[in-house]
Amino acid sequence: MSKEHATREENYAQWYNDIVIKADLAENSAVRGCMVIKPYGFAIWEKMQAALDKMFKDTGHVNAYFPMFIPKSFLSKEAAHVEGFAKECAVITHYRLKNDPQGNGVVVDPEARLEEELIVRPTSETIIWNTYKGWIQSYRDLPILVNQWANVVRWEMRTRLFLRTAEFLWQEGHTAHASKEEAEEEARRMLDVYTDFAENYMAMPVLRGVKTENERFAGAEDTYCIEAMMQDGKALQAGTSHFLGQNFARAFDVKFTSREGRQELVWATSWGVSTRLMGALVMTHSDDKGLVIPPKLAPFQVVIVPIYKSEAEFEAVCTSGKKIKSALENVGIRVKLDDRDTHKPGYKFAEHEFRGVPLRIAIGPRDLENGTVEVARRDTLEKFSFQQTDLATKLQHLLDQIQENLFTKALQFRETHTFKADTLEEFTRILDEQGGFVYAHWDGTVETEQKIKEMTKATIRCIPLNNPMEQGNCILTGKPSSQRVVFARAY
């Protein structure tokens, strides 16, 4: 394992990139802005998917799949949506290549031009609501509680692995309801699901709130969000859940006959989280020694490394390692026995540390004599010598502790990086010197928010749910304000 990686202090952006690349999570591909998610990174994403998918199903949702192509004209149907989404898109104009007459490989066949261009979905509200029109006639057809796991494309100019890529993976829920109340409840329910996932699986504390008009999803009436704080004090939007009102139903003419026999427009929500969460995971817990993964999402929670000199010792410790592995697996712990004979123990230690495996067990000949193992915690770097008796129980307990400790540490970080500012000067100073979340008064206008953004690069991350009311004055205009909102510089 190469030691050549940046620390957070030296170069935070480089530190992040080094972890993603050197822990084998992802890499840039030959296609501008598109990443390859490598097996180790994908294994973490699969754990995320499995946990979220179960939560979605437990709340009554089912999965489906809609086309990844959207007719260009669909994007213009919802006025706000076209402004927000129709611009930086991958556009399909042709459906055939042919041999180059000059013999240089293949060229686009000019005969094969599409009548109407297709867009690779940047999000699927339009194609899905066009489909729902055929599914919904009566209140009996509602609610529709559908989710899809899919790839989407937004042609970003500046990309960063996981955080902002042209193609990314996500899930998008799209629900249809007979009443406004039910749709609003659904949007908030999914915010709860995302919060639960972020805090209890990713060990990442999140602020829950609603976006200002400025930051709202294109086509939404309300955008709920969870906002996390990264170790450089910047905010990262980790998930959003939108109450879409009747906007898409109106755009695609989706009506239903109510219980009372009236024709009404359907109410909608949509909600999504993406592979961006992988970036959030990395930046919430990792340290200068590499990746740190919360046990619930770790592909391997425990790695066993044999320590040996002779081949006979290798055989003996591996035999013991296999027994330990199956004892741990019996209680549901995910274990890897690293019995490669092509690499030395020291190399393996460094590799698994950098890749964030929560617990490392080393077993050597002396351990065999004493019935012990050496256990190292990735989060605190503590080492213990454990008797092998009841090892599974002890390790399960340690894994629970690590999961909890990571959350607590991240929460403490957020708390020590959360401030109040009452003047623009104080506000700017905090952002420049410490970063973090700044609670400040704002006059409620789009113009003021934009001006503050231009001056300080900070945006309103959200108006927290259950925000305490407090009289004050906008830090920019001095106009009266009834509550503080949360500002931060953001990813």
Q: Which of 263, 310, 330, 342 binds a second copy (CB under 8 A)?
A: 342
State the nearest-atom distance from the C-beta of 30 to a second copy, in Å: 5
CA-based nearest residue to 306, from 264, 365, 259: 365
Q: Which of 8, 17, 59, 71 binds a second copy (CB under 8 A)?
A: 71
User: Are the C-beta atoms of residues 441 and 481 closer than 8 Å to each other?
Assistant: yes
Asked if 30 interacts with a second copy (CB under 8 A), we say yes
Closest to a second copy by CB, 35 or 283: 35
State the nearest-atom distance from the C-beta of 441 to a second copy, in Å: 36
Tally of CB atoms within 10 A around 1: 18
Q: Which of 43, 350, 368, 424 binds a second copy (CB under 8 A)?
A: 43
CA-based nearest residue to 307, from 355, 241, 373: 373
Distance, in Å, from the CA atom of 170 to the CA atom of 20, rounded to the nearest integer, reads: 19
Convert residues 159-188 into a mask of x (bound to a second copy by CB under 8 A) and - (unbound). Answer: --------x-x-------------------
The CA dihedral of 346, 350, 352, 357, to the nearest 10 degrees, is: 120
Q: Which of 20, 35, 210, 277 binds a second copy (CB under 8 A)?
A: 35
**To 5 degrees, how large is the angle CA 329–CA 334–CA 335?**
80
Asked if 27 interacts with a second copy (CB under 8 A), we say yes
State the nearest-atom distance from the C-beta of 42 to a second copy, in Å: 5
**If DSSP codes are grouped into helix, strand and coil, which group holds residue 50?**
helix
32 is written with which tokens?
Answer: 């501008």
Exposed, middle or buried by CB within 10 Å (0-12, 13-18, 19+), for 262? exposed
Asked if 64 interacts with a second copy (CB under 8 A), we say yes
Q: Which of 39, 346, 371, 480 binds a second copy (CB under 8 A)?
A: 39
230 is written with which tokens?
Answer: 């990264």
User: Are the C-beta atoms of residues 197 and 382 closer than 8 Å to each other?
Assistant: no
Closest to a second copy by CB, 125 or 379: 125
H runs (alpha helix) in 163-303:
180-200, 247-251, 276-285
CA-based nearest residue to 182, from 120, 233, 128, 256: 256
**Backbone phi, psi, residue 394, to 5°:** -65, -40
Closest to a second copy by CB, 13 or 62: 62
C-alpha R_g of the chain? 26
Closest to a second copy by CB, 98 or 397: 98
Tokens 């500046």, located at residue: 158
Q: Which of 44, 52, 127, 395 binds a second copy (CB under 8 A)?
A: 127
Q: Which of 17, 59, 151, 257 binds a second copy (CB under 8 A)?
A: 151
Q: Which of 16, 47, 56, 131 binds a second copy (CB under 8 A)?
A: 131
Asked if 29 interacts with a second copy (CB under 8 A), we say yes
Asked if 87 interacts with a second copy (CB under 8 A), we say yes
Closest to a second copy by CB, 82 or 490: 82
Distance, in Å, from the CA atom of 352 to the CA atom of 420, rounded to the nearest integer, reads: 40
Across the chain, which distance is largest between two alpha carbons, in Å?
A: 83
Q: Which of 51, 55, 108, 490 binds a second copy (CB under 8 A)?
A: 108
Closest to a second copy by CB, 72 or 289: 72
Distance, in Å, from the CA atom of 351 to the CA atom of 357, rounded to the nearest integer, reads: 9
> Which region, judged by CB under 8 A, interacts with a second copy, from 126-134, 324-332, 403-411, 451-459?
126-134
Q: Is the peptide bond before 294 cis (omega within 30 degrees of 0)?
A: no
> Which region, judged by CB under 8 A, interacts with a second copy, from 79-87, 192-200, 284-292, 438-446?
79-87
Q: Which of 51, 55, 68, 392 binds a second copy (CB under 8 A)?
A: 68
> Which region, judged by CB under 8 A, interacts with a second copy, from 86-94, 315-323, 360-368, 471-479?
86-94
User: Are the C-beta atoms of residues 108 and 277 closer than 8 Å to each other?
Assistant: no
State the nearest-atom distance from the C-beta of 448 to a second copy, in Å: 27
Closest to a second copy by CB, 127 or 460: 127
Torsional class of 233: left (φ above 0), alpha (ψ -120 to 50), beta (otherwise): left
CA-based nearest residue to 19, from 198, 202, 231: 231
Site for a second copy in 362-391 (CB under 8 A): none
**If DSSP codes are grouped into helix, strand and coil, which group holds residue 361?**
strand
Asked if 475 interacts with a second copy (CB under 8 A), we say no
Asked if 82 interacts with a second copy (CB under 8 A), we say yes
Asked if 346 interacts with a second copy (CB under 8 A), we say no
How many CA atoms lie within 13 Å of 295's alpha carbon, on the beta-carbon side?
25
Closest to a second copy by CB, 78 or 367: 78
- Chain residues binding a second copy by CB under 8 A are 27, 29-31, 34-39, 42-43, 45-46, 62-76, 82, 86-98, 105-106, 108, 117-120, 127, 130-131, 134, 140, 146, 150-151, 155, 167, 169, 342
